Structure 1
Amino acid sequence: MDHNDAYPRLLIREDINQELLLPSSTLSNVQDNPAIAYLLSLGSKRSRQTMQSFLNIVSRMIGFDDLKHCIWSSLRRHHVLAVLEMLASTEKAPATINTYLSALKGVALEAWTMKQIDTDSFQHIKQIRSVRGSRLTKGRALERREIRRLFDTCAGDHSAMGLRDAAILGVLLGCGLRRSEVVALDIDDMIYKDKALKVLGKGNKERLAFVPNGSWERLERWIHEVRGVYSGALFSRIRRFDDVTTSRLSDQAIYHILEMRRIESRIEKFAPHDLRRTFASAMLDNGEDIVTVKDAMGHSSINTTQKYDRRGDERLRRASERLGITD
């Protein structure tokens, strides 16, 4: 569905034209577009992609083709509130709506810095409160039998892809890395004496990910039997007939690899992020404290880590089974 059809437009183009502080022709200049300046201020490629998508949707909602053509200099509090109301009417989760709000506040800040909006207008937008509420966390943790079937599928593939995909699975499950973190790994990020990986995560923050023995063995097999020890991407593309290239995999390639192995293993559908949930669940089930899990996952806030903790759901299930008042 086109975004123009998904949301009714907030027709404020005339309102904006009346308040226009800069000629529309100057908006083609990156230096004059606060939305582009905001995107450039974000710390990761994934964050930029997410916020760019959100700002393009907002642009269409308020009557423009995309963020490059939207006249952000005339954005005001009532426009932002109307966007939030429209998002709520489409039953977006509070966390999603708040991400849109964060993007709009970021754009407003850049517009104020560029002297495109006055201080009062910026403060009015800045003071808009986040939407309260939450939704149940989506996704699931894989069962051990499913994990074993995935590894068995890779082991049954005697091509170079079999060894590479087993190593990728080992890192995703054994270290809880994000897809973007896995594809960004270089072979020089392997710390052999500690059996660890140097990972560059969100916010441009480095951390050590200690690799379990089974995952480390799969990594070494991939390197010594297929990839080689030359510098470059740890995981690379493989063409037909086991033609191992030096080209770095993309996030989307990881998605396709996991989906292919899932289908071959005949297990229930899962998202790539569910492997990260599986890692967190396993650590928590093993009795690790939540601060340790937070550090292992590269979270900046413990509140984020708590969303991965499903032990409370299990306690509620057991309590419900013991209730017995309707038997």
Structure 2
Amino acid sequence: MHEQNKDGNTEVTFLPAERTFEVLSAEAAGTGVNGIEKNPAVSYLMGLRAESSRLAMRSFLNNIAKMMGYHDLRTCPWGMLERHHVQAVLTMLTDAGKAPATINNYLAAIKGVAVEAWTLKLISTDTYQHIKLVKSVRGSRIPKGRALAPAEVKKLFFTCESDKSAIGVRDSAILSVLVGCGLRRAEVVSLDFAHYNRHNRSLKVLGKGNKERMAYLPDGAFQRLESWVEEVRSDIPGPLFSRIRRYDDVTSERMTSQAIYHILNSRSVEAGIEKCAPHDLRRTFASSMLENGEDLITVKDAMGHASLATTQKYDFRGDERLRAASKRLDI
């Protein structure tokens, strides 16, 4: 089992004695060890394969439990859930000014729990069907996040390359993979050296939904990654990117997703650019490809999206077109 230590690094530990197969199986079934407790929310969360999805849905379900008057998802009696409860939650979220996409994520969490509650025979088929028929909220908001300007990307790399330490070489390679291949930060830290094909300049990426895809490195990204491998890391097996302690002590410890966030945060401050998140580099990748004339399907495949609609949300070219159009107006 992987756990994070206080430094944010991933460590591999054995399951404690109490975390036996029987206990894990009971949790997956939404039951306690003695079989008395049945919690469909726990069962639903364990069925989500992506850690990011589990964290997000856990937060949503804890909030829903509090709206219903309970402490958290473990104390909420989900077996009493009915259609009017769901509608009340949606109304409260709407009144609180939540965006349609956020409200629909809450609805997806509730419906996921309802499926598990029905499977565990905690709610009737009629109740489940009534909840299932609750419609999602319509509407949209301007997407959060941004795509970086080319000058900002150059400043980030200049900052890393001005740092002559092993950390500077590593950070430059990491940012190259983020902005040059559009990888999610969780995908970056899960890469092993074995996933790097130096001959055809590609990375084998395991993305959401347990789906593999190939990511091909642009020249600049390939050169920076080669510098990391040749000058610092070497070609030994293990994580492609690893933790570096003080005094350039390069370890074989896998980095965490949070470490990627901190790296970009500190490098953006050093570069003197507007604050940006790792996912903004993914947005930059998508917008740059579309700006270069690549078709939407190609960009979708490169990003590992299941639908074109998701990829379209990463297209930030419209802002620039609207801004340019407004400047051409003479009033």
What's the TM-score once normalised by structure 1's chain length? 0.89
Report whether the alignment pairs 1:315 with 2:282: no
Shift of 1:80: 0.8
C-alpha separation between the residues in 2 aligned to 1:248 and 1:229? 15
| Partner secondary structure for residue 91 of structure 2 | helix
Which of residues 93, 115, 128 in structure 1 aligns to 2:134? Answer: 128
* Superposed CA offset, 1:282-325 (max 9, x none): 1011000011011001100000111122333333334433443x
Q: 1:158 to 1:322 in 2, by over 3 A?
A: closer
User: Contact 2:283 / 2:316 at 8 angstroms: preserved in 1?
Assistant: no
Mapping of 1:127-206 within 5 angstroms?
A: 127-206=133-212
| Partner secondary structure for residue 138 of structure 2 | coil
Report whether the alignment pairs 1:57 with 2:57: no
C-alpha separation between the residues in 2 aligned to 1:268 and 1:317? 19
Report whether the alignment pairs 1:304 with 2:310: yes
* Superposed CA offset, 1:197-235 (max 9, x none): 000111111000001111111111111211121211111
Identity of aligned residues (%): 61
User: Contact 1:27 / 1:69 at 8 angstroms: preserved in 2?
Assistant: no
Instruction: Give the structure 1 partner of residue 256 of structure 2.
Output: 250
C-alpha separation between the residues in 2 aligned to 1:102 and 1:190? 36
User: Contact 1:28 / 1:69 at 8 angstroms: preserved in 2?
Assistant: no
Which of residues 64, 71, 79 in structure 2 aligns to 1:73? Answer: 79
C-alpha separation between the residues in 2 aligned to 1:251 and 1:171? 14
The one-letter amino acid paired with 2:50 is S
Shift of 1:28: 4.4
User: Contact 2:146 / 2:316 at 8 angstroms: preserved in 1?
Assistant: no
C-alpha separation between the residues in 1 aligned to 2:31 and 2:202? 47
Instruction: Give the structure 2 partner of residue 38 of structure 1.
Output: 44
| Partner secondary structure for residue 148 of structure 2 | coil
Shift of 1:144: 1.3
Which of residues 33, 49, 53 in structure 2 aligns to 1:47? Answer: 53
C-alpha separation between the residues in 2 aligned to 1:245 and 1:315? 46
Aligned residues: CA RMSD: 1.5
* Superposed CA offset, 1:47-99 (max 9, x none): 11110111111111112111111111111111111111111111111001000
| Partner secondary structure for residue 90 of structure 2 | helix
User: For structure 1, which segment, 61-70 or 125-134, has the greater mean C-alpha deviation from structure 2 after superposition?
Assistant: 61-70
The one-letter amino acid paired with 1:283 is M
| Partner secondary structure for residue 139 of structure 2 | coil
| Partner secondary structure for residue 194 of structure 1 | coil
Shift of 1:265: 0.8
User: Contact 1:161 / 1:238 at 8 angstroms: preserved in 2?
Assistant: yes
Instruction: Give the structure 2 partner of residue 236 of structure 1.
Output: 242
Unpaired runs of at least 5, structure 2: 1-29
The one-letter amino acid paired with 1:45 is E
User: For structure 1, which segment, 57-66 or 119-128, has the greater mean C-alpha deviation from structure 2 after superposition?
Assistant: 57-66
The one-letter amino acid paired with 1:51 is M
Shift of 1:137: 0.7
The one-letter amino acid paired with 1:55 is L
C-alpha separation between the residues in 2 aligned to 1:130 and 1:163? 46
C-alpha separation between the residues in 2 aligned to 1:135 and 1:269? 21
The one-letter amino acid paired with 1:314 is E
What's the TM-score once normalised by structure 2's chain length? 0.87
The one-letter amino acid paired with 2:96 is T
| Partner secondary structure for residue 225 of structure 1 | helix
Instruction: Give the structure 2 partner of residue 294 of structure 1.
Output: 300
User: Contact 1:27 / 1:68 at 8 angstroms: preserved in 2?
Assistant: no
Shift of 1:276: 0.6
Instruction: Give the structure 1 partner of residue 271 of structure 2.
Output: 265
Which of residues 84, 88, 95 in structure 1 aligns to 2:94? Answer: 88
C-alpha separation between the residues in 2 aligned to 1:221 and 1:320? 44
Report whether the alignment pairs 1:283 with 2:327: no
| Partner secondary structure for residue 208 of structure 1 | strand
C-alpha separation between the residues in 1 aligned to 2:263 and 2:138? 37
